[in-house]
């Protein structure tokens, strides 16, 4: 099922399940871009292939909001918006170890290891390492699990995963970055929860989209807790 969160004539926001690649890879598995193309083709009864442009990516084991452009002009405009960092990306992450402070900022220098398909974080500048910043806030804790809201200031490869791991707080299920156990579906407990972006049509208001949590026990417990604290805590 292709879970549409918001769309108009220019943009399409959808909720990607964990385990589905955003675009084609060496596995040959069905990917999310392919699913978006099929959704557009069927909904609008297009005889041939539908144009759908992928604006950004999230990792395969990560769930949450992904943005597509429905025209080439919209794709060009959104690429500019993302490159200029006019958008806001908010993630929710579960860890089994808390960070020392309940809220704060993490700054590291990251190097991508393409051969090992992972990143390395350093406390000081190092060679070609890229300065990486995120802001975090503890939202809830239940039974030794901790839910953090994370806002990216930079958007590096595996940034949240490697920065939390560097602090001794790997994301639950993320074996690549130090989690002790995997989740049964091989996902990791990282969810792209909110995306705020200017619209491609400058006269239209900005778009804010929230992706509901996956229907899994570990997310459901936190959803219930946040709803009790107030609907604004969970959207």
Task: State pLDDT tens for residues 88-132.
Answer: 999 999 999 999 999 999 999 999 999 999 999 999 999 999 999
How much is the pLDDT for 66?
A: 98
CA distances to 52, 66, 74, 212, 214 from 92, rounded to whole Å, are 27, 15, 28, 11, 12
Mean pLDDT of 140-165: 95
In the chain, how many domains are there? 1
Task: State the residue range of the domain holding 198.
Answer: 4-229
Assess whether 25 carries a catalytic annotation: no
Mean pLDDT of 83-89: 93
How much is the pLDDT for 26?
A: 74
pLDDT at 224 over 60: yes
Confidence of residue 48 (pLDDT cuts 50, 70, 90): confident
User: d(Cα 83, Cα 11) in Å, to the nearest integer?
Assistant: 17
Confidence of residue 47 (pLDDT cuts 50, 70, 90): confident
Q: Using alpha carbons, select from 149, 50, 47 the residue that is nearest to residue 104.
A: 149
pLDDT at 235 over 60: no
Residue 234, domain member (yes or no): no
Percent of the chain at pLDDT > 90 equals 77
Residue 183, domain member (yes or no): yes
User: d(Cα 207, Cα 88) in Å, to the nearest integer?
Assistant: 11
Active-site residue, from 59, 80, 174, 185: 59
Q: Are 31 and 24 in contact (CB under 8 A)?
A: yes
CATH classification at residue 129: 3.30.2350.10
Residue 55, domain member (yes or no): yes
Q: What is the mean pLDDT of the chain?
A: 92
Mean pLDDT of 147-173: 96
How much is the pLDDT for 208?
A: 97
User: d(Cα 221, Cα 38) in Å, to the nearest integer?
Assistant: 33
Residue 146, domain member (yes or no): yes
Residue 235, domain member (yes or no): no
Give 133: exposed, middle or buried? Use CB within 10 Å, 0-12, 13-18, 19+.
Answer: middle
């Amino acid at each position: 099922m292709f879970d549409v969160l918001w769309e108009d004539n220019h943009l399409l926001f959808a909720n990607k399940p964990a385990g589905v690649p955003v675009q084609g890879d060496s596995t040959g598995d069905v990917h999310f871009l392919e699913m978006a193309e099929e959704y557009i083709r069927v909904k609008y009864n297009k005889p041939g292939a539908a144009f759908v442009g992928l604006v950004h990516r999230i990792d395969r084991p990560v769930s949450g909001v992904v943005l597509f452009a429905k025209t080439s002009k919209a794709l060009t405009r959104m690429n500019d918006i993302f490159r200029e960092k006019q958008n806001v990306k908010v993630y929710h992450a579960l860890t089994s170890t808390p960070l020392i402070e309940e809220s704060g900022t993490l700054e590291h220098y990251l190097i991508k290891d393409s051969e090992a398909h992972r990143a390395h974080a350093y406390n000081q500048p190092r060679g070609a390492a890229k300065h990486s910043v995120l802001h975090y806030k503890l939202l809830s804790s239940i039974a030794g699990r901790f839910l953090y809201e994370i806002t990216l200031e930079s958007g590096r490869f595996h940034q949240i995963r490697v920065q939390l791991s560097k602090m001794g707080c790997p994301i639950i299920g993320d074996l690549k970055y130090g989690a002790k156990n995997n989740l049964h579906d091989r996902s990791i407990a990282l969810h792209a929860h909110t995306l705020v972006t200017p619209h491609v049509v400058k006269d239209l208001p900005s778009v804010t989209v929230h992706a509901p949590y996956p229907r899994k026990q570990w997310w459901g417990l936190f959803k219930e807790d946040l709803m009790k604290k107030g609907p604004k805590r969970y959207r």
